[in-house]
Amino acid sequence: MATKAVTNGTFSPYNAHVPGAEPEVCALDAFRLAVASKLTGPLSLSLEKAYEGVDLGKKGADFTVAVPRFRLGGKPDTWAQKVVDEFQPDEWVESATVEKGFVSFMVRTQTLAKKVLTQVHDLTYDSPSGKPAYGCNNSGKGKKAIIEYSSPNIAKEFHAGHLRSTILGAFLANIHRATGWDVTTINYLGDWGKQFGLVAVGFERYGSEEALKTDAIHHLYDVYVKINRDGDPEKAVQTAVTDFFKATKEEKLAKEAQWEKLRDYIQQAYNESYAVHDAAREFFRRMEDGDESAVAQWKRFRDLSLERYKQSYERLNIEFDVYGGESTVSQQAMQEVIQKMTQMGIVEKGKEKKEGATLINLEKWKLGSPVLQKSDGTSLYITRDIAGAIERYTKYHFDKMIYVAGAPQDMHFAQFFKVLELMDLPWAKTLEHANFGSILGMSSRKGTAVSLDHILNEAQEVMHEQMKKNDAKYANVDDPEKTADEIGMSAVKIQDMASKRINNYTFNWSRMLSFEGDTGPYLQYAHARLSSVQRKTTDAGLVLPSDVSKINTDLLTEPGARAIIYLLASYPDVVRMALKTYEPSTVVTYLFKLSHAISAAWETLVVMGQEEELAKARLWLFICAKDVLAAGLRLLSVRPLEKM
Ligand code: ARG
């Protein structure tokens, strides 16, 4: 193959077919191949082998090769020296230097500029899919991924964990699509279980049709909180005691009679609190049996809540292909699971408190003994997950399935993955749990715990205030409220994705919403500023030729320009890395670096008032930088702003 890549003594990376190298979508790979071609002769290596050893450079070098890794025998230093001695510069690679067993290479700036900017431009405005595709690759081509995220519980609060799952999940969906995977996204709603019985019982007591129609999520949550209080024996008894003293204050009862009456109060409260749960269980039982009126009531709660959730998702720029949920897992599938495991002899009957329940013993793997079926025959969260996974495999035949949920559920996922494995399902090992740490103290600025909508509204408000401070700019923004909302959401999202997902972080209003420092608003600002350069130069009559090959990129000689070009070239690498680690912080960190490099270049790479050819080359560089910044933001589900 290496022979095909060399014609008339010059190496052509585009003809070298090396696994993993995609020069047609990653210009940096072309340079990696060119560097590898400098190793094959002196080290007698195949191009494939040499390519594996080409790493991004350290200490200012473009690429570095650690010669010891090739295990050539003899002294690596000697081999490294040989590479440098035989080195011939060419169109791609300019110089090689040696330090002990390490050879560092610099690539030719003019070639780098031309290849990278052309690639960014072509793949942004003229990609085969018709959509901007710089940074994308085909590594997942032909493979199917199911990604499940957000998955809030209807009638319970949408908590910080759901927000993180939503943001991280959207990112994982985007990055898989960007790397060629066929992705189906699922929102697995917590829409089944005894809590629905509780809500139904609560709704009879505290519900209002009107409140349900205006804001189902908050109303049902409200009802849920109230009925839970009624169902809590401790609280019920406390209330009963208070009531007793109130009621008997005026009465002059004998001690005995007083005691008796108090006992009655307590007994009644106690019974009533238990009755709440009996009624809830009974309601859920009816739901599982398919009782029409119970199911109809449940469906109304679900539909109205979902309508509200969909509004929030749209606001957040997040979509799902499928709105599923625990309710969609079939009874039959769950029964089959239990039967199969019973046959396999891994199922036990519960004792003592778990009398009558069916459980599975996973002690051998230190995974406890989760209950699969309660004594009254109703199903459980884990059973639904096991059966649900089987149903999904039957439907989608996925190559992998990712569940995005917080680290507190590590045990749950380990248990249910293990059960599938014990059932000898070969695809069980393709299931993954993408976990994450907690957001601490997600509350409004006044300190009260609130819902997702409150958080987003508050972020929007603060941004709007901030924008109003600059009259001239404010007047220039088309829809300030919408813009403020976008900036606010960028703030929330970027804060969330700025560090490793497993880390806990503290929700910090002032840090998050600042325009300085590494924040969402800062990235939006960097993008808006580049957009404004593009508008202003166009207004001044500086327009790039439609045939961009006419732009003289050789004029981009400043170190600041090279730094930006090299960063643009690394974007496809960043995407690859983020796919491997499922870490959006890889992308966030990159975007900060890029934005810093751009802002450092404003003074040295002036566009306006320059000689035309130079002005055009610099403008093109900035437009390419803007396109890559936008691509990165979109990958993070952030909508890049043109003006702010
Ligand atoms: N609804 C669950 C919760 O809020 C999260 C669901 C995670 N996904 C799953 N397949 N269990 O805790």
Give the closest residue to 191 by CA, choosing from 97, 80, 73, 323: 323
3-state SS, residue 553: helix
The tokens of 184 are what? 């189906």
Residue 348 corresponds to which amino acid? E
C-alpha of 438 from chain center: 14
Q: How many Cβ atoms sit within 10 Å of the Cβ of residue 126?
A: 10
Model confidence band, residue 1 (pLDDT cutoffs 50, 70, 90): very low
Model confidence band, residue 398 (pLDDT cutoffs 50, 70, 90): very high
The tokens of 417 are what? 């993955």
Tell whether the model's pLDDT for residue 13 goes beyond 90: yes
Atom 5 of ligand 1: nearest residue by CA position: 151
Tell whether the model's pLDDT for residue 615 goes beyond 80: yes
The residue to mutate among 147, 151, 186, having the most atoms of ligand 1 within 8 angstroms of its beta carbon, is 151
Model confidence band, residue 249 (pLDDT cutoffs 50, 70, 90): confident
Q: If you measure from the C-alpha of residue 326 to the centroid of ligand 1, how many angstroms do you get, rounded to a whole number?
A: 9
Model confidence band, residue 3 (pLDDT cutoffs 50, 70, 90): very low
DSSP lists the bridge partners of residue 371 as: 359
Q: If you measure from the C-alpha of residue 149 to the centroid of ligand 1, how many angstroms do you get, rounded to a whole number?
A: 8
Q: If you measure from the C-alpha of residue 406 to the centroid of ligand 1, how many angstroms do you get, rounded to a whole number?
A: 9
Tell whether the model's pLDDT for residue 389 goes beyond 70: yes
String of DSSP letters for 146-200: EEE---PBTTS---HHHHHHHHHHHHHHHHHHHTT-EEEEEEEEB--SHHHHHHH
Q: Which atom of ligand 1 is nearest to the CA of 156?
A: 4
Atom 10 of ligand 1: nearest residue by CA position: 385
The tokens of 614 are what? 């130079």
Give the closest residue to 53 by CA, choosing from 9, 109, 2, 101: 101
The residue to mutate among 163, 409, 432, 438, having the most atoms of ligand 1 within 8 angstroms of its beta carbon, is 409
Handedness of CA 514, 516, 522, 527 (dihedral sign): positive
Pairing of strands 144-148, 182-189: parallel
pTM: 0.92
Active site residue 159: yes
Tell whether the model's pLDDT for residue 2 goes beyond 60: no
Q: If you measure from the C-alpha of residue 256 to the centroid of ligand 1, how many angstroms do you get, rounded to a whole number?
A: 52
Q: Which atom of ligand 1 is nearest to the CA of 161?
A: 4
Active site residue 277: no
Give the closest residue to 515 by CA, choosing from 428, 641, 399, 393: 641
Marked catalytic residue, from 156, 235, 354, 596: 156
CB-based burial, 69-102: b 16+ in 10 Å, e otherwise: ebeeeeebeebbbbbbeebeeeebbbebebeebb
Marked catalytic residue, from 159, 219, 527, 626: 159
Q: Which atom of ligand 1 is nearest to the CA of 405?
A: 7
Name, in order, each residue with C-beta under 8 angstroms of 642's C-beta and a sequence gap of 6 or more. 527, 528, 531
Give the closest residue to 239 by CA, choosing from 260, 206, 261, 268: 268
Are the C-beta atoms of 327 and 384 separated by less than 8 Å?
A: no
Rounded to whole angstroms, what are the CA distances from 283 to 189, 222, 298, 355, 422? 19, 19, 10, 22, 34
Q: If you measure from the C-alpha of residue 354 to the centroid of ligand 1, how many angstroms do you get, rounded to a whole number?
A: 24
Are the C-beta atoms of 520 and 494 separated by less than 8 Å?
A: yes
Give the closest residue to 441 by CA, choosing from 515, 495, 484: 495
Q: If you measure from the C-alpha of residue 151 to the centroid of ligand 1, how many angstroms do you get, rounded to a whole number?
A: 6
Tell whether the model's pLDDT for residue 449 goes beyond 60: no
Residues enclosing ligand 1, CB less than 6 A? 148, 151, 153, 188, 190, 385, 403, 405
Tell me how far apart the alpha carbons of residues 93 and 461 are, in angstroms, rounded to a whole number. Answer: 52
More confident residue, 383 or 216: 383
Residue 389 corresponds to which amino acid? A
3-state SS, residue 146: strand
| DSSP assignment letter at 430 | G
Model confidence band, residue 8 (pLDDT cutoffs 50, 70, 90): low
Tell me how far apart the alpha carbons of residues 637 and 614 are, in angstroms, rounded to a whole number. Answer: 35
Name, in order, each residue with C-beta under 8 angstroms of 626's C-beta and a sequence gap of 6 or more. 527, 530, 531, 534
Q: Which atom of ligand 1 is nearest to the CA of 381?
A: 11
Give the closest residue to 17 by CA, choosing from 46, 41, 54, 53: 46
3-state SS, residue 469: coil
Name, in order, each residue with C-beta under 8 angstroms of 447's C-beta and a sequence gap of 6 or more. none
The tokens of 284 are what? 């859920």
Atom 1 of ligand 1: nearest residue by CA position: 190
The residue to mutate among 159, 188, 391, having the most atoms of ligand 1 within 8 angstroms of its beta carbon, is 188
Q: Which strands, in side-by-side order, build the sheet including 54-56?
A: 54-56, 63-66, 102-107, 93-99
Q: If you measure from the C-alpha of residue 432 to the centroid of ligand 1, how many angstroms do you get, rounded to a whole number?
A: 14
To which H or E segment does residue 285 belong? helix 255-289
Instruction: Find the DSSP H helices in 207-254.
Output: 209-214, 216-230, 233-248
Atom 6 of ligand 1: nearest residue by CA position: 151
First to last CA, the chain: 52
Q: How many Cβ atoms sit within 10 Å of the Cβ of residue 280?
A: 21
- What is the reported pLDDT for 448? 61
Write down the residue that tokens 């001044």 correspond to. Answer: 540
Q: If you measure from the C-alpha of residue 403 to the centroid of ligand 1, how many angstroms do you get, rounded to a whole number?
A: 9
Give the closest residue to 222 by CA, choosing from 157, 133, 173: 157
Burial of 150 (0-12, 13-18, 19+ CB in 10 A): buried
Burial of 400 (0-12, 13-18, 19+ CB in 10 A): middle
Name, in order, each residue with C-beta under 8 angstroms of 584's C-beta and a sequence gap of 6 or more. 167, 168, 171, 497, 501, 578, 636
- What is the reported pLDDT for 446? 64
Q: Averaged over 285-301, what is the pLDDT?
A: 93
Tell me how far apart the alpha carbons of residues 552 and 556 are, in angstroms, rounded to a whole number. Answer: 8
The tokens of 556 are what? 């981009």
Q: Which atom of ligand 1 is nearest to the CA of 162?
A: 4
Q: If you measure from the C-alpha of residue 225 to the centroid of ligand 1, how many angstroms do you get, rounded to a whole number?
A: 20
Are the C-beta atoms of 477 and 483 separated by less than 8 Å?
A: yes
C-alpha of 281 from chain center: 36
Q: Averaged over 191-216, what is the pLDDT?
A: 91
Q: If you measure from the C-alpha of residue 414 to the centroid of ligand 1, how many angstroms do you get, rounded to a whole number?
A: 14
Mean pLDDT taken over the chain: 93
Atom 11 of ligand 1: nearest residue by CA position: 385
Atom 7 of ligand 1: nearest residue by CA position: 405
To which H or E segment does residue 144 belong? strand 144-148
The tokens of 19 are what? 């696994």
DSSP lists the bridge partners of residue 379 as: 373
Tell whether the model's pLDDT for residue 515 goes beyond 60: yes
Q: Which atom of ligand 1 is nearest to the CA of 413?
A: 11
Marked catalytic residue, from 38, 115, 162, 616: 162
C-alpha of 59 from chain center: 32
Give the closest residue to 92 by CA, choosing from 138, 34, 139: 34
Tell me how far apart the alpha carbons of residues 369 and 378 are, in angstroms, rounded to a whole number. Answer: 18
pLDDT, tens digit (0-9, with 9 covering 90-100), for 59-101: 889 999 999 999 999 999 999 999 999 999 999 999 999 999 9
Residue ranges and CATH numbers for the domains of the chain are 2-107 (3.30.1360.70), 193-289 (no CATH), 452-635 (1.10.730.10)
More confident residue, 517 or 203: 203
Instruction: Pick the range with the lowest mean pLDDT from 477-481, 495-499, 508-512, 638-642.
Output: 508-512
pLDDT, tens digit (0-9, with 9 covering 90-100), for 14-36: 999 999 999 999 999 999 999 99
